[in-house]
Amino acid sequence: EDSIPELAFLRACDKMMNVCGVHDFSLKDILTPDSKRFRRNLSAIINFAKFREERLAMYNELLQKVIEYNKFITFLFLGKKTY
């Protein structure tokens, strides 16, 4: 019973670390962390978070432009001002 949440946690950590570019993450990294691997893993998480924030800001800017263009096109074709 107690191992199911632990396995779910390990699976979530492994999935996150794979997304961050660390493909050899294991239970050993949690139970007996080595300082060199811990630093590498933490660095990968921080770099991914920075990358995500940069891309998210760019995505939001582009999304706003698309919304404005859609409103303009709607106005051109339907003659209704939606903004």
Q: Are 32 and 61 in contact (CB under 8 A)?
A: no
pLDDT at residue 2, as a whole number: 77
Share of the chain above pLDDT 90, in %: 81
Helices (H), the chain: 3-19, 28-31, 35-78
pLDDT tens digits, residue range 30-57? 999 999 999 999 999 999 999 999 999 9
28 in the Ramachandran plot: left (φ > 0), alpha (ψ -120 to 50) or beta? alpha
CA atoms within 13 A on the CB side of 64: 5
Tokens of 47: 């770099």
Q: Are 72 and 78 in contact (CB under 8 A)?
A: no
pLDDT at 81 over 90: no
Q: Tell me the residue type at 1.
A: E
